[in-house]
């Protein structure tokens, strides 16, 4: 459900909060920042990219000389998925939460502080 600039997906024990670009079609999103917010207060953040976004970034690096002429791509808390769209991304995040692998993929940003 939309909540201002956020698109939130509620699950049992946690919520996935996406920050899509304004006006973006949810089924076409291919690069999005997100958080997994647990009922316990734990928060994990990441960015989800599709393979096509990675390819475009590497091609841009080839043109600009960045990342050794586009020979590599990296992000600290990034997750690469095959297909665009929030629905498919939710399935992947659900699997990461279920398996516990979200702790290896996303960044622990700690509990929400009193000023947030």
- Is 115 domain-assigned? no
Residue 85: the pLDDT is: 97
The neighbour count for residue 35, using CB atoms within 10 Å, is 20
Whole-model pTM: value is: 0.90
pLDDT-above-90 percentage for the chain? 84
Instruction: Count structural domains, the chain.
Output: 1
Report phi then psi at 75, rounded to 5: -150, 145
Domain with 55, as residue range(s), is 2-108
Q: Where are the beta strands (DSSP E) in 4-71?
A: 6-11, 14-19, 31-38, 43-50
Q: d(Cα 69, Cα 84) in Å, to the nearest integer?
A: 26
Does the structure show a pLDDT above 70 at 115? no
Structure-block tokens of residue 44: 């994990």
- Is 116 domain-assigned? no
The residue written with tokens 């960015």 in the block is 47
Does the structure show a pLDDT above 90 at 10? yes
- Is 29 domain-assigned? yes
- Is 89 domain-assigned? yes
């Amino acid at each position: 459900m939309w909540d201002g600039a956020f698109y939130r997906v509620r699950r049992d024990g946690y919520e996935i909060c996406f920050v899509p670009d304004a006006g973006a079609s949810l089924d076409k999103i291919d690069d999005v920042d997100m958080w997994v917010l647990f009922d316990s207060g734990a928060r994990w953040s990441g960015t989800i990219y599709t393979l096509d976004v990675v390819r475009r970034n590497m091609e841009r690096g080839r043109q600009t000389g960045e990342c050794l002429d586009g020979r590599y791509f990296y992000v600290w808390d990034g997750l690469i998925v095959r297909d665009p769209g929030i629905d498919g991304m939710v399935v992947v995040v659900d699997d990461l939460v279920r398996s516990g692998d979200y702790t290896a993929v996303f960044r622990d940003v700690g509990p929400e502080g009193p000023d947030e």
